[in-house]
Structure 1
């Protein structure tokens, strides 16, 4: 297979050698290049011999010494992965994408399950898309960690939950990765009465038998109002959420009695649902499961307070509004009150945005639409000015659009606001308040 060059930097190594957009990258050190992982892996060699096929059918060979690096080649490709994303082959009973209404960004409806995205961006994969060759390549290239959506270590239950006949068989890949020293972070989406309770304890114990499992995140199933015709699932409540926390804490105590470190962590949402106090940062180890909402509350509060007490109190006038989801609202309100106590001439208003679009069981800030944001701020008396939003509400810093394709500029115009996008970290939140 060859990969088409999309752009060439004039001052890069390839540009100076006459490589142009549309030329084909054939090989690196005689290895065929199929995707971005091949490209990154084989261009790490001490000496490189890179072969291109030009538009006029000439082959051009570029030889580089160890002093040169892949980054200096100056070429990019049409897609980041260099080929197509791999579509999910499962039909999970809890799939969130199946619960999406019409009218959202087209990209939101694509179900990816691509091991390359696991390595590059931390995406979680189910293993059902992997071939034996993929497993061998992960081991050969030392692609680590691999982030796996396990859900259960019971093969038969995994087949039923994911509705894929190979879902149980591919669990054997976990041992192959572990035996090869490939680190594994696992995710378990818990569905009440299905894979929690004794099934969860079984899964945790089986995962703990694999030496390379570094962490296991337990997250509650997400439920929107758009579940007509889908598998009947229940949501967690105060008591059932508390039971999950207790089971995980008890399991971790088993490990600690064996002289081992804890590996299993309930997501912050379980603490919120159970109405229990969020643990402090010491509970979460190295925070390896932040992307699953594990420890985000504790880390945000710790970072914010560290920054807060490094600054001397002053009498500067500061005014800013903050909008966030139901889940984060109590924390952001508490931190803003602490800020105003230390800086008494500050005026920080925090607005709680309920999710009318997906349904009020969805409480995270990252699933708030522009329409909900605008309408509820107006309803709650927002009169304009500086408005702080968490970065998870928009697609990216470069593409400032909400899930429903409303742009930040649209929201600014309708709200008479200057919208500031803040990273989801306690230190960034403090800076957004302090530098207002």
Structure 2
């Protein structure tokens, strides 16, 4: 993760609140009620209120502050270039079976991104290994009740999983799964058989 970047708007839905307010593709959302959203999750939580103040930079680079009232469950009608405004949490493992590492070099660059991002797991069902999360991210998962997350377990024996993923933190998987249970959060873990 990096510095939070303004969220670049790629589409304004016809008939939406955003269209009515004059938003256009190319505008960038900087903050909602004074808080820069890190990702689409923050954005969705932040707009679930009746009174909003949106800090926006238009395509020409001009700053605007837009105040609006809406029903708490009304969507603004904005689509963004990416779901992650602060960058991708990348994989910290070195699995010998990694399908990303096995991609031919001539394939498009996005096929070579080694994501291990819990936000993509929550939003889109991507699988993650839980080996790279600092305490603040675990706290955010609990606070926002982000569930289910999709977890690639590979092995539950600590030494075996650490060896498979080539990451010492990988051996904490049972502790991590118990943490989800204690928080009342669910996860989906596929079964894979290794010869």
* TM-score greater than 0.5 by the shorter chain: yes
Match for 1:4 among 3, 8, 28? Answer: 8
Write 1 or 2 for the structure with the bigger share of helix: 1
| Alpha carbons 1:135, 1:173 under 8 Å: kept | no
1:30 Cα offset (Å): 4.6
Please list the CA deviations of residues 209-266 of structure 1 after superposition, one character each: whole Å capped at 9, or x if unmatched: xxxxxxxxxxxxxxxxxxxxxxxxxxxxxxxxxxxxxxxxxxxxxxxxxxxxxxxxxx
| CA shift in 2, pair 1:19/1:148, >3 Å | same
Query: Structure 2 matches for 1:321-360, cutoff 5 A?
Result: none
| Alpha carbons 2:51, 2:67 under 8 Å: kept | no
| Alpha carbons 2:29, 2:55 under 8 Å: kept | yes
TM-score, normalisation: structure 1? 0.39
- What does residue 141 of structure 1 align with? 144
| Alpha carbons 1:26, 1:51 under 8 Å: kept | yes
| CA shift in 2, pair 1:25/1:100, >3 Å | closer
Higher Cα radius of gyration? 1
Instruction: Measure, in 2, the Cα distance between the counterparts of 1:191 and 1:183.
Output: 25
Are residues 1:64 and 2:70 paired?
A: yes
Please list the CA deviations of residues 105-160 of structure 1 after superposition, one character each: whole Å capped at 9, or x if unmatched: 44333322121221122221101232222211222222111111111222222211
Match for 2:55 among 52, 61, 64? Answer: 52
1:93 Cα offset (Å): 2.6
Query: Structure 2 matches for 1:171-210, cutoff 5 A?
Result: 171-192=174-195
SS in 2 for 1:178: helix
Match for 2:38 among 34, 53, 68? Answer: 34
Instruction: Measure, in 2, the Cα distance between the counterparts of 1:5 and 1:103.
Output: 30
| Alpha carbons 1:50, 1:63 under 8 Å: kept | no
Please list the CA deviations of residues 290-330 of structure 1 after superposition, one character each: whole Å capped at 9, or x if unmatched: xxxxxxxxxxxxxxxxxxxxxxxxxxxxxxxxxxxxxxxxx
Query: Structure 2 matches for 1:218-257, cutoff 5 A?
Result: none
1:170 Cα offset (Å): 5.7
Please list the CA deviations of residues 156-182 of structure 1 after superposition, one character each: whole Å capped at 9, or x if unmatched: 222111111222246533222111111
- What does residue 360 of structure 1 align with? none
For structure 2, the residue ranges without an aligned partner over 5 or more in a row are: none
TM-score, normalisation: structure 2? 0.80
Please list the CA deviations of residues 337-391 of structure 1 after superposition, one character each: whole Å capped at 9, or x if unmatched: xxxxxxxxxxxxxxxxxxxxxxxxxxxxxxxxxxxxxxxxxxxxxxxxxxxxxxx
1:40 Cα offset (Å): 1.8
| CA shift in 2, pair 1:58/1:40, >3 Å | closer
Please list the CA deviations of residues 40-66 of structure 1 after superposition, one character each: whole Å capped at 9, or x if unmatched: 223234x24141233322322223233
Instruction: Measure, in 2, the Cα distance between the counterparts of 1:99 and 1:39.
Output: 35
SS in 1 for 2:150: strand
Q: Which has the higher contact order (CA 8 A, sep 6+)?
A: 2
- What does residue 47 of structure 2 align with? 43
| Alpha carbons 1:5, 1:24 under 8 Å: kept | yes
Q: CA RMSD in A?
A: 2.5
Instruction: Measure, in 2, the Cα distance between the counterparts of 1:53 and 1:100.
Output: 39
- What does residue 15 of structure 1 align with? 19
Instruction: Measure, in 1, the Cα distance between the counterparts of 2:14 and 2:179.
Output: 44
| Alpha carbons 1:152, 1:188 under 8 Å: kept | no
- What does residue 156 of structure 1 align with? 159
Are residues 1:95 and 2:82 paired?
A: no
- What does residue 109 of structure 1 align with? 112
Instruction: Measure, in 1, the Cα distance between the counterparts of 2:109 and 2:32.
Output: 35
1:23 Cα offset (Å): 3.4
